[in-house]
Structure 1
Amino acid sequence: MTQTVLLNDGNTIPAIGFGVFQIPADGSTYTAVKEALEVGYRHIDTAQAYFNEAEVGQAIKDSGIPREEIFVTSKLWIQDFAYETAKATIDTTLEKMGLDYLDLYLLHQPYGRVEEAWKALEEAQAEGKIKSIGVSNFTPKYWNQFVPHFATVPAVNQVEFNPYFQQKELRALLAKDQVVIEAWAPLGQGNQSLFEEPVIATLAQKYGKDLGQIILRFENQEGIVALPKSTKKARMASNKDIFDFELTAEEMAEIRALDKGKGSHDPDAPGIGDYLLSAYDIHAND
């Protein structure tokens, strides 16, 4: 049984998911998702700008697992934030993935016509095309800029999160509305120094777990939904196997002390929105 977290809209989300960022759409995504489902994941996270939604949908279909048992997330790219475009994109995504609905759909970035895009998400939710709606990469600055104008409070904010970047200011802000944080880069995107931290090594030895499992368990106990990514089946399985032990309050405090207060990506940096628009042209092959 997968552990779940309650969202502020009454829906639940599996506490750990499988992310497919940077897995190519050359059959690799299909294989990875099929294997992730085989080892027990029931939460798959993709995005329009990952270019692999179709393979995710196909793997879900071919898995033989009932649709309602799999929690599926995708994200709308900035290029399609204009209201009419956003509405059309939601339909295209469902068609591309072969799904009747998405469990969660996020605004991928906090730039451009954010309020128009959010309105399209709210309407799609009312129509039953999306169960829960949320945002991604919203810092406190962007949260305060946009969310007060939304009719609906996002259920989720997916941001960079790991022991080196614990998003303290953002978490305090989101707690007021019971907004769940999802972690991308929950293992620090392979940051070697994180895996060399003595406190994590000591705990891994104590609990007979690997370093990644200690990090993911810490995040889980902090109430964060983690989205680890791996294309290795054994690693997929171990990343999920974190619910048979519990870190003590003292151990949690030791890992909290690793926080450096900043991550590898700063959405507030000048020009990021323009850079991302030029770096990811989702309609290049249309």
Structure 2
Amino acid sequence: MKYVTLNNGVQMPMLGLGTWDLRGEEGKQAIINALDVGYRLIDTAKMYGNEDIVGQAIVESGITRSEIFITTKLNSSCLGYSQAKKGIEQSLKELQTDYIDLLLIHEPYVKSLDMYKAMKEAYQQKKVRAIGISNFQGQHYDYFIQNCGMIPAVHQIESHVYHSQLKFKQRMEKDSVQMESWASFTEGRKDIFHEPLLMEIANKYHKSVAQIALAYLIQNGIVVIPKTIHKERMIENMDVFDIVLSQDDMYRIQTLDLGQSLFHWYD
């Protein structure tokens, strides 16, 4: 596993498990399987309604808590300072932990700055090791950065070969904000696994298309959290850190970029 050092010195794994639609016993077992094969970053959110199974899976895995990096996100149920404070305490309880490694605001809200005030307090109280944002674009990102009082450690946004957002990443780098990708495989919006160019490059490196898609993001310095319930896919997704794509192949993959969201999240 490779790690990236955030702007406050905290180390974050560059690859983790996304859990957005994991539910119930099957979902819990998928998280346990991921931890068993070596995942150490688990990404959840209040919006997903599964913080409880994430907490249960981590406890049942038997892995020391300090070895696992937990990310969760506050949503519209936490609008405002006091609501965010309550939301943080609820997340700690659901996750069965004394601290959250990374806490994000799930999307731009009218009261994002009030929510962030509660997050900064939780950070100072060591209930949270790092704080950040998700899905802030354009003027929302600019306004937040200018007024937040503490630069986010991480910004999680849609990023994949068809919409890598590398130009936006350059802006984040100037702000010392680490970029993290959601939808690394497009969540079915594009048939990425049969993309001819990626198939050609995968054959060249004796890897799968999924591995090449992840390696492209990681080589660009982007943290990835692909979601899967299949243990063999988890193992495959983990086996990407020996891939070094040539500059020519990186450029060729970049030609797939459509320059627009596949999800209309930001409309």
Fold in common (TM above 0.5): yes
**Are 1:133 and 1:154, in contact at CA under 8 Å, matched by a contact in 2?**
yes
Q: What residue is the counterpart of 2:236 in the other structure?
A: 238
Contact 2:22/2:28 (8 A) holds in 1: no
Q: How does 1:13-162 map to 2 (within 5 A)?
A: 13-24=12-23, 26-162=24-160
Separation of aligned partners in 2, 1:88 and 1:62: 26
Amino acid aligned to 1:6: T
Off by >4 Å, runs of 4+ in structure 1: none
State the alpha-carbon separation in 1 of the partners of residues 191 and 44 from structure 2.
28
How far does residue 156 in structure 1 lie from its aligned partner after superposition? 0.5
Per the normalisation by structure 2, the TM-score is 0.97
Instruction: Give deviations 1:237-270, integer Å, cap 9, x for gaps.
Output: 101110122101111111111110112223442x
Cα distance in 2 between the residues matched to 1:237 and 1:16: 12
Distance in structure 1 (CA, Å) of the matches to 2:43 and 2:90: 17
Aligned 8 A contact 1:54 1:96 in 2: yes
The within-5 A match list for 1:201-280 is 201-269=199-267
Tell me which amino acid in the other structure corresponds to 2:16: G
On the 8 A contact 1:71/1:103 being kept in 2, the answer is: yes
CA contact (8 A) 2:189 2:262 kept: no
Distance across 2 between alignment mates of 1:268 and 1:200: 27
Separation in 1, partners of 2:215, 2:188 = 17
Output the CA distance in 2 between the equivalents of 1:177 and 1:266. Answer: 25
Counterpart Cα distance in 2 of 1:43 and 1:208:
26
**Letter paired with 1:92:** Q
| Matching residue's letter, 1:67 | R
Q: Deviation per CA, 1:103-143: give whole Å up to 9, x if none.
A: 00000011221110011100000000000000001112211
Q: Is the 8 A contact 1:218 1:252 kept in 2?
A: yes
1:12 is matched with 11
* Number of residue pairs the alignment of both structures matches: 267
2:38 is paired with a residue whose SS is: coil
Counterpart contact for 2:181–2:225, Cα < 8 Å:
yes
Identity across matched positions, percent: 39
CA RMSD of aligned residues (A): 1.2
Q: What is residue 170 of structure 2 aligned with on the other side?
A: 172
- Report the Cα distance in structure 1 between the residues aligned to 2:166 and 2:239, rounded to whole angstroms: 26
Structure-2 residue corresponding to 1:279: none
Distance verdict in 2 for CA 1:192–1:149, change over 3 Å: closer
